[in-house]
Structure 1
Amino acid sequence: MADPELAALAFRAAPLAMMALGDRRILAANAAAARLFGWPEAELTGRSVRLLYPSAGDFRATGERWLSVLRSRPDHVDERFMQARDGEVFWTRVRGRTLTPENPFERSVWTFERLETGGAGGGPSTLTAREREIAAHVVNGRTSKEIARALAISHRTVEVHRAAILRKLDARNAAELVTRIVVAG
């Protein structure tokens, strides 16, 4: 097997979700990325990565943050909410590397790893692991009772965590909380 064939096979079969991007458009996505985001590989190719973000504001803000970082160094890692084709919003660790440091978004490679409980040290940085776990459910529109059932805890415990999240993110209600979680992530 020639080296280019081996490289292509490694990309396609890698167990970690991977994408090659050009100017924030998907040039190639492997099978793991297609599964993670719920899209057929062919439907991802050529599309803007905007379709993987919960909001246009999050897409813009994340792009600005990453552009700033990638101008000073070729690699960056963060944790944030991403969105699957079916609308599910989930916590993800994203690693990226620019191949064109003079124009960081011109060519880059990315990996995506779903984090079931919000990971460690992810954002919003002031939230505990349990609060990030509950925040992921809140973003997906679940009630306190639904979250309690999913996590096998009391709905009152969920309410205590939701109140702490509201306070920490300075949100007045659930709608504002969702907005702040997505933007802060």
Structure 2
Amino acid sequence: MTVFTQQLKDLQRLAFKVSPAAQLITGDRVMLDCNEAFLELFGYPREELLGQLTLLIYPSQADYKTIGNRSRNWLLCSKTGSYSDERFMQHKNGEVFWARSQGYTLTPDDPFKLMVWHFERLDRAHHATVDLTPREREVSMHIVNGLTCKEVARKLAISHRTVEVHRARLMKKLQAKNSAELVSKIIFVD
């Protein structure tokens, strides 16, 4: 290997490591490598991620399975080799957050064999199949993270009664019978 070739490889490795975009390389949904921005986004040290299933950064096993099936099917039918969506992800501290993800397969015949992913944290949720107001989206993000109506009210600087009204509307729109079902439906709404 020439000195130039080695320098180029070193530069490429450095560019990946310090890129401001959170990037992850997976092989069959196992985390093979990630950059510093990814570690910061998800709150894990490198040694706790590498070799683990990406299930670790999903809020639930059901979400991991549903999104996995959807993305794999898309990649098998797509000629672009890329997939993107907006979804809930989970930080090491348990916080669930809304993120945009983009994946690129390097092995189109077996999409999950080798992929590169990019993640971006979004400030507010977008629910494609449910018509939520911006405030309902905002309230839903706090509910998913376990806040009570009074805690949400303090965070948003509104009355807890107003939060209760938004919560009731969310329950009606998502057809949830109780709080646990509401959280589940907020997380799994596509």
Instruction: Give the TM-score range, shorter chain.
Output: over 0.9
Equivalent position of 2:123 in the other structure: 116
Stretches of 4+ moved more than 4 A in 1? 121-125
> Please, which runs of 5 or more residues in structure 1 have no aligned partner?
none
Matches within 5 A, 1:17-36: 17-36=22-41
- For the 8 Å contact 2:18–2:36, the answer to whether it is kept is yes
Pairing 1:37–2:42 present: yes
Give, in whole Å, the separation in 2 of the partners of 1:150 and 1:68: 39
Range with greater deviation from structure 2 (4-13 or 153-162): 153-162
Residue of structure 2 in register with 1:171 after alignment? 176
Residue 54 of structure 1: aligned partner: 59
| Cα offset, 1:128, TM superposition | 2.6
**Contact 2:88 2:97 (8 Å CA) reproduced:** yes
| Counterpart Cα distance in 1 of 2:187 and 2:54 | 16
Does the CA-based 8 Å contact 2:130-2:173 persist in structure 1?
A: no
1:90 and 1:136 in contact (8 A); partners too: yes
Q: Determine the C-alpha separation between the residues in 1 that align with 2:155 and 2:175.
A: 26
Q: Percent identity?
A: 49
The residue type paired with residue 30 of structure 2 is R
Q: Matched residues in 1 for 2:49 and 2:35: separation?
A: 10
3-state SS, counterpart of residue 111 of structure 2: coil
Amino acid paired to 2:146? G
* Cα pair distance change 1:124/1:4, threshold 3 Å: farther
* TM-score, length of structure 1 as denominator length: 0.93
Note if 1:72 corresponds to 2:77: yes
Match of 1:20, SS state, is strand
Letter of the 1:103 partner, please give it: D
Please report how far the alpha carbon of residue 41 of structure 1 lies from its aligned counterpart in structure 2 after TM superposition: 1.5
- Alignment gaps of 5+ in structure 2: none
State the aligned residue count. 183
- CA 1:125–1:19: 2 relative to 1, 3 Å: farther
Q: Distance in 2 between matches of 1:124 and 1:32?
A: 31
Residue 5 of structure 1 deviates from its aligned partner by 1.5
State TM-score, norm by structure 2: 0.91
Root-mean-square deviation (Å): 1.5
C-alpha contact 1:24 1:49 (8 A) present in aligned 2: yes
Question: What residue is the counterpart of 1:126 in the other structure?
Answer: 131
- Separation of aligned partners in 2, 1:72 and 1:10: 31
Q: Is the 8 A contact 2:75 2:83 kept in 1?
A: yes
Structure showing greater Rg: 2
